[in-house]
Amino acid sequence: MLYKQNISKAKIILLKGENGRKLVEKSLQKNNFNISVIECYKKIFKKINNLEIKKWRFYQINTLIVTSGDILNRLNEQIDVLNKNEWLFKCKIFVASNRLGDMAERIGWKDVIVCYCADNENLLKIIKKYS
């Protein structure tokens, strides 16, 4: 365990995705840590086409697990209004935080389950409980 005197001498590199959230970075800077930020990865989303959506509907997909706001936004942007209203928004959706739960409801989902944590063990426990 590091003591506060040692932490203040820490030279920190914060590794994050391109255009990642700035909360940790700002908090460390506010507390006078010596910090460098490196954007080390970039999210590239797959284009969801109508054939993909038809497959999901054919297989009667009725539950989604979503761990990021970017994914919610991409689903909302890429799936047409008819498929959203007839199928997507009728799916149960498991999300990893209250922020994502609120976001999912604003977008249009009705059956939103907040897992509060995206680790595998917790997700599996909550999914078993509500499925």
For the stretch 28-85, pLDDT in tens is 888 888 889 999 988 888 999 999 999 999 999 999 999 889 999 999 999 999 999 9
For the stretch 91-116, pLDDT in tens is 999 998 999 999 999 999 999 999 98
Work out the pLDDT band at 1, boundaries 50, 70, 90.
very low
**In terms of domains, do 122 and 101 share one?**
yes
**In terms of domains, do 31 and 88 share one?**
no
Domain with residue 77: its CATH number is 3.40.50.10090
**In terms of domains, do 60 and 36 share one?**
no
Please state the rounded mean pLDDT for residues 2-17. 71
**In terms of domains, do 13 and 56 share one?**
no
**In terms of domains, do 26 and 54 share one?**
no
**In terms of domains, do 24 and 65 share one?**
no
For residue 4, is pLDDT > 60? Answer: no
Predicted local confidence at residue 104, as pLDDT: 98
Q: How many domains does the chain have?
A: 2
**In terms of domains, do 78 and 119 share one?**
yes
**In terms of domains, do 62 and 81 share one?**
yes
Predicted local confidence at residue 105, as pLDDT: 98
**In terms of domains, do 33 and 89 share one?**
no
- The CA-atom distances, in angstroms, between 121 and each of 13, 50, 61, 94, 125 are 29, 33, 22, 14, 6
| Domain span at 31 | 4-41
pTM: 0.75
